[in-house]
Structure 1
Amino acid sequence: MVLANGMVAGYPTVLIPSLYKENFNSGSPITEDQISWIGSIGFICSLFGCLLSGIITHPIGRSRAIRLASPFLFVAWLLFLFANEIWHIYLALCLCGLTSSLVEAPIIAYKAEVSQPHLRGMLSATTSLSCVLGVLIQFLLGTFLYWRTVAVISSVFPLITFVLLFFIPESPHWLIMRNKREDAHRSLAWLRGWTSLNDVEEEFLRLCVKCDTEEHPKVSSSSEDVERVTNERTWNVTLKMYTEKRFLWPLSLVFFIFFLSHFNGSCTLQTYAVSIFATMKAPMDEFYATVILGITEVVGCFLSLFVVKYFGKRIMGIATLSAVGICDIAVGAYAFLINVQYLKWSEDALSSTTSQYAWIPLCLLLLLSLVAHSGIRVLPWILLGEVFPHETRAAGCGIGSASYYLFIFFSNKLFIIMVNAMTIFGVYELYAAISFVGALLMYFALPETEGKDLDEVIDHFSEISRLDNKVKRTIH
């Protein structure tokens, strides 16, 4: 399903140049304002989907919440097939964003709850890897196929997800919280490699103790008592849980890192890739350059699996954000030197690009994307599933994911406005400043959670104990 979400994120990159060339806007080219809305409107709708996902994930379960969203995403993709007005495009993008984001909280919570500590960082990073694979698929499809055809092909992926999820068990943690311990035991055995119940007995008992201590008072095992106590706790302590420092502190940290991951130049590069490559006079077809961009994103996310495992999240975030800042300075300086100030949207944007230095901007932009996706673009998604207390994890993941879409909306919507006001040079130098200041603040604010047990991380943000800044190695 994350792959399908990546296809949603990558579709505006395919759609914008296609609609411009087609003169979709009543026979005339679409305007810059319409372009900015196409590049951002789906993400603001995703914000509301994430908030809703946090609400529905806790009561109905992680796996079921993902399965629920899949058919609606299928319908949303088909709307592009019948669109013949610009508002139809807006509507289809809104529905794609809303329905795809419904799975953010359940996916992140599920991965955090079923992963063993020494694998949690790598498995969480596969979320971003799957997402950029979806983006790359869209770039490839958009290079060779008509945009309506691309939408129809994209509609197949949520249907495949819907079917496959019937074979995936629910999170053992959620099942124990719902007093379904036999199902939880079988689920844990399946998730540990289709092993026997006896082989996971010790881990299962530890999980039961944790859930009993943190989530439920001691009551009889009757369904009536469990339901009564669950309802009482739901209404009496919900507000208190979401106003405690142990929830607000990690939430603020996630917000901050999501902001840094979007306002460093890599986010807008993905959305406006075709126009940026054309404007910077890259010496190849801009669509092929976009495909190469997608490949670098995939490679970067693949590298992040090993970066987080061997170097930890602190070095991963600080080092890659600093490197992105250096790339931003170089891109802005090159735009200044060749006197390119504003974005170009017409097909003749690549004319007279025979300079022997024309490969410089292409290499710089690809390097920026590679470095960002090997660290700072992946980092907040890894943190999201492990920094919240068990009882507020689903809602925390939903709210945190919503901040991702809020920031991506503003970064995409404001990009054209900022370029027109500050020029390309000014925008990329601003991105560089944000990156360097963010890396410095991250050094003091971000604890090292790699290899640590979920309860150790939760205790740190609850101020029960304190994490050190070393990666915890587990010997097997």
Structure 2
Amino acid sequence: MVLKTENKLPESTKSSLREALPQVLAVGVKNVLLLGFGMTLGFPTILIPSLQGTHENESISLGPDAISWIGSINLICVPVGCLLSGAITQPIGRKRAMQLVNIPFLTAWLLFHFSTEAWQIFVALALTGLSGGLLEAPVLTYVAEIAQPHLRGILSSTSTMAVILGSLSQYLLGTFFPFRVVALINCCMPVISFVLLIFVPETPLWLISKNRINDARESMAWLRGWTTVESVDAEFQELCRQLNKNAVQATPLTTISGKLNENVPMIKKPSKVQMLKLLGKKEFLWPYFLVALSFFLGHFNGMTAMQTYAIPIFSSLKAPIDKYYCTIILGAVEFFGCIACVTLVNLLGKRVINLVSLVVCGVCFITVATYAHVVGIEYLDTLMSPNVNETGVFYWTPLVFLVISSFSSYLGIKILPWILTGEVFPNETRAVASGLSSGLGYIFGFLANKVFFSMVSNLTLPGTFWVFGATSFVGAIILHFILPETEGKTLHEITEHFAGRSKLSNKVQRKTNGVSEGFKNEAFEAEESRF
């Protein structure tokens, strides 16, 4: 029966499935690493209650000032790792960089488990933040360089879903086990990630940048459905032709087999002066502004502060159900928002999804702000008094709209900058730009949390939420004019758009029936050394 069913599949369908499967598997392996990173983001939530001196069997006890650093010290260290990420990724490769970053993750979990003094906890937290920054460039560039244009948006959007799942796993484990046992369980994830990465290939772009031509052909054959190198020869020739356009060339090179009869440039390492000049060009500055704006909107549309201070916010708004249950609901709808993004991005495109995301967030926060103003809620309830257990429909208003805003954020604007980071930068600066962009994103996240109390103190809670709503609406207007539709477009087309040499249409470009997108896939556009 299985054989008969398989034979009924059209040849083009079978070919497309086989072509896509290795890319999906490779991104899935990468997501195991991000799952481990998400665990480090959720771990402080279960760590803080254990170190407040209320547990008899816990030797470490911290005061309020020290506790306040537990939730932020890792975020402060992430940008440091991001700045180093691009410089480390290019010399050793994306795959090896992702493997090696598991080592400090494992070290941090062991420190958490065996810690006997407070400084060991803080060192472990700093390690998780630094490691989270180091993985940004290899993770973002890996997806961009192995995925075909029609798959890149979907596969890129799974990254945030993996991070959220990692955080949720900590909330679940923390309800059953003490933090030291959870840390020991978490040690399994870096080991699993390291082993799985052995079985996926390095990106063809990086291999070509190191003049490992035969390895690049084999990598492309693996990513094209575990086929032969001969079957991808035409695509590889096209890739090398595209590479010849912009590469820094030395002596032309041919493969050992002699099958590559076109000139394959040897990539000459740009100097630091050359790199600084590249970072000053429009091809870098304009995409960097777009990514920075997306990160700003993703953090200052209200959801970053909402996640961090969800318990006092729900307590202040007198939610009709327990405030801790409210945070669980937020986490669940964030995950479903990511699933919706993965499902819809290939159909609707990034422009539509993100414009809808911002507009819905704006409506939700303005509605909640108006509600708080009408009922006379001006400031946060720092004492977090018990829920009032109101049952009227009116009292469900803030909970419902904040849940909708959470879903909407992760449908689009929370995920957009991470997708853009991997695809809008030119090949010469992609790894460096990924690290710089990610670092800026985490700085915005830190600032969004840091200024929230000051905003509430000076503007009141309704005023703060009105600012969040206005930010979303203004952001939607700006993105309407400057955000091109990149879904289904090749990296070469995207680079040409930001360089001003061509203009992308605002329509989603889908795979043409019967024509393999891989043959003309300039998503494998060559990448030169960053330093």
TM-score under structure 1 normalisation?
Answer: 0.91
Q: 2:200 aligns with which of 168, 184, 190?
A: 168
Matched to 1:266, the amino acid is M
Partners of 1:55 and 1:322 in 2: how far apart? 38
* Deviation readout 1:62-101 (Å, 9 max, x if unpaired): 0111111101011123333355666554433222111122
Q: 1:182 aligns with which of 200, 214, 217?
A: 214
Residue 395, structure 1, aligned to residue 429, structure 2: no
SS at match of 2:504: coil
Cα distance change, pair 40–311 in 1 and its aligned pair in 2 (3 A): same
Aligned to 1:75: 107
Residues 278 and 441 (structure 1 numbering): CA distance in 2 closer, same or farther, change over 3 Å? same
**Alpha-carbon shift at residue 60 of structure 1 (Å):** 0.9
Render the CA deviation track for 1:18-62: whole Å, top value 9, x for unaligned: 55583899978625xx56533333112101111111111111100
Alignment partner of 1:150 is 2:182: yes
The answer to whether 1:265 aligns with 2:302 is: yes
2:479 partner amino acid = M
For 1:433 and 1:75, how far apart are their aligned partners in 2?
A: 43
Q: CA deviation at 1:334?
A: 2.9
Q: Is the 8 A contact 2:34 2:163 kept in 1?
A: yes
Asked if 1:230 is matched to 2:268, the reply is yes
Output the CA distance in 1 between the equivalents of 2:46 and 2:306: 13
The residue correspondences of 1:199-348 to structure 2 (distance < 5 A) are 199-221=231-253, 230-231=268-269, 233-235=270-272, 237-344=274-381, 346=383
For the Cα contact (< 8 Å) 2:423–2:491, is it kept in 1? yes
Q: Which amino acid aligns with 1:440?
A: I
Pick the aligned partner of 2:386 from 350, 353, 359.
Answer: 350
User: Which ranges in structure 1 are unaligned for 5 or more consecutive residues?
Assistant: none
Could you tell me how far apart the structure 2 residues matched to 1:119 and 1:229 are? 28
| SS of corresponding position for 1:420 | helix
- Deviation string 1:149-187 (CA, Å, 9 cap, x unpaired) is 333333321221111111111001100111111111111
Q: 1:44 maps to what in 2?
A: 76
1:457 counterpart (479, 483, 494): 494
Equivalent residue for 2:453? 416
Identity over aligned pairs, percent:
45
2:165 matches 1:141? no
Higher-Rg structure is: 2
Match of 2:519 in 1: none
Query: Does structure 1 retain, via aligned residues, the 8 Å contact 2:250–2:265?
Result: no
2:320 match: secondary structure: coil
Counterpart pick for 1:132 among 142, 154, 164: 164
Residue 343 of structure 1 aligns to which amino acid in structure 2? L
84-93 or 322-331, larger mean C-alpha shift: 84-93
Shift, 1:251, TM fit: 0.8
Task: Provide TM-score, normalisation by structure 2.
Answer: 0.82
Distance 2:372 2:174 in 1: 27
Q: Which string of whole-angstrom CA distances, capped at 9 and with x for unpartnered residues, describes residues 426-446 of structure 1?
A: 221111111111111111111
- Structure 1 position 60 matched with structure 2 position 92: yes
Residues 399 and 137 of structure 1: CA distance in aligned 2, closer, same or farther (over 3 Å):
same
**1:114 to 1:269, Cα distance in 2 relative to 1, 3 A:** same
Unaligned ranges ≥5, structure 2: 1-32, 256-263, 514-531
Report what 1:191 is aligned to: 223
Quote the residue 1:11 is aligned against: 43
How much does 1:466 deviate?
Answer: 1.2
Give the 5 Å matches for 1:12-27. 12-16=44-48, 19=51, 22=54
Deviation of 1:344 after TM superposition, in Å, equals: 4.0
Between the two proteins, the alignment pairs up a number of residues equal to 470
Aligned to 2:7: none
Match of 1:366? 403
Asked whether the 8 Å contact 1:16–1:35 carries over to 2, the reply is: yes
Name the CA distance, whole Å, in 2 between partners of 1:344 and 1:69: 40
Q: Which amino acid aligns with 2:213?
A: R
The two structures, once aligned, show a CA RMSD in angstroms of 2.7
User: Equivalents in 1 of 2:80, 2:116: separation in Å?
Assistant: 26
Contact 1:40 1:410 in 2 (8 A): no
Kept in 2: contact 1:261–1:377 (CA 8 A)? yes
Q: How many angstroms apart in 2 are the aligned matches of 1:184 and 1:71? A: 27
8 Å CA contact retained: 1:54, 1:395: yes
Match of 2:463 among 419, 423, 426: 426
CA–CA distance in 2 between the matches of 1:248 and 1:35? 39
Name the CA shift for 1:16/1:441 in 2 (closer, same or farther; >3 Å). farther
Change (3 A) 1:451 1:412: same
Deviations 1:173-226 (A, max 9, x none): 100111111111111111222222223222222222222332231405499xx9
Tell me how far apart the structure 1 counterparts of residues 176 and 330 of structure 2 sit (CA, whole Å): 16
